[in-house]
């Protein structure tokens, strides 16, 4: 183990070499660069709790990556790892938010159960949008929502696979949603 005074004078490369050899940890690199990583994370996340969590995750990540990666310029590499981590987390969160939003609107009772809708304008718009759908999508949606027929029964009545029914239903819902939102 390298003492603290000696550790402060070591270069980043020396600390990484000692870490790979198992004779030291990365605490000095954390002390040197935690504030820089935090600043970069704050730039991406715009709030302190998420940025603090990201700093912990990033240093955990680099402790694993340093065992297998050759790093010439630690500071530049750390910045790239930090930026990529933040972007990946933000994209993941956006995908989850988009999926939730899409699912909520695609299965909305207001859109797909017009007998429960009071707003006549929405009902009229839904009628127009239904008419604009391709035949198979319109037929599947009509059979499922208005005639209360199951996917399996629709499949046998239309002589198509269950997966095709599901596909027509999903595409029809998406097209209706887009049409109604216009």
What pLDDT, in 10s, does the model give residues 26-48?
Answer: 899 999 999 999 999 999 999 99
- Please indicate, yes or no, whether residues 89 and 140 belong to a single structural domain of this protein: no
Is 54 within 8 Å of 41 (Cβ atoms)? yes
pLDDT exceeds 60 at position 3: no
pLDDT surpassing 60 at residue 65: yes
CA 39 to chain centre: 23
Last residue of some domain: 68, 101, 134? 101
Co-location of 84 and 130 in the same domain = no
Is the same domain home to 97 and 114? no
Looking at residue 36, what is its pLDDT? 94
Instruction: Give the long-range contacts of residues 175-180, CB within 8 A, separation 24 or more.
Output: 175/129, 175/132, 175/133, 175/137, 176/111, 176/126, 176/129, 176/130, 176/133, 176/141, 177/102, 177/105, 177/106, 177/111, 179/125, 179/128, 179/129, 179/132, 180/111, 180/122, 180/125, 180/126, 180/129
Look at residue 149 and give its three-state secondary structure: coil
CATH code at position 111: 1.10.10.10
Do 71 and 47 belong to one domain? yes
Res 7 pLDDT > 70: no
Mean pLDDT of the chain: 83
Band of pLDDT at residue 56, cut at 50, 70 and 90: very high
Do 91 and 32 share a structural domain? yes
Query: pLDDT by residue (tens digit) across 103-133?
Result: 555 555 555 555 554 567 777 788 888 889 9
In 3D space, the residue among 99, 79, 77 whose CA is nearest the CA of residue 87 turns out to be 79
Among the candidates 76, 101, 126, a domain finishes at 101
The pLDDT score that the predictor gives to residue 75 is: 92
In terms of domains, do 89 and 16 share one?
yes
Mean pLDDT value across residues 1-15? 70
Domain tally, the chain: 2
Residue 117, pLDDT score: 46
Is 97 found in the same domain as 177? no
125 shares its domain with 174: yes
Considering the domain architecture, whether residues 8 and 52 belong to the same structural domain is answered as yes
Residue numbers of the domain that contains 43: 4-101
């Amino acid at each position: 183990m390298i003492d603290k005074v000696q550790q402060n004078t070591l270069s980043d490369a020396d600390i990484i070499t000692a870490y790979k050899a198992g004779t030291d940890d990365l605490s000095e690199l954390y002390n040197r660069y935690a504030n820089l990583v935090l600043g970069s994370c704050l730039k991406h996340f715009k709030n302190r709790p998420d940025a603090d969590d990201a700093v912990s995750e990033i240093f955990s990540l680099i402790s694993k990556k340093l065992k297998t990666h050759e790093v010439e310029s630690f500071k530049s590499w750390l910045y790239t790892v930090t930026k990529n981590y933040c972007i990946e987390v933000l994209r993941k969160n956006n995908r989850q938010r988009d999926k939730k939003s899409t699912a909520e609107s695609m299965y909305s009772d207001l859109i797909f159960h017009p007998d429960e809708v009071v707003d006549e304008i929405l009902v009229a718009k839904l009628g127009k949008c239904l008419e604009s759908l391709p035949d198979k999508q319109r037929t599947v949606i009509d059979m499922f929502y208005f005639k209360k027929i199951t996917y399996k029964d629709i499949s046998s009545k239309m002589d198509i696979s269950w997966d095709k029914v599901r596909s027509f239903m999903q595409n029809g819902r998406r097209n209706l949603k887009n049409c109604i939102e216009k």
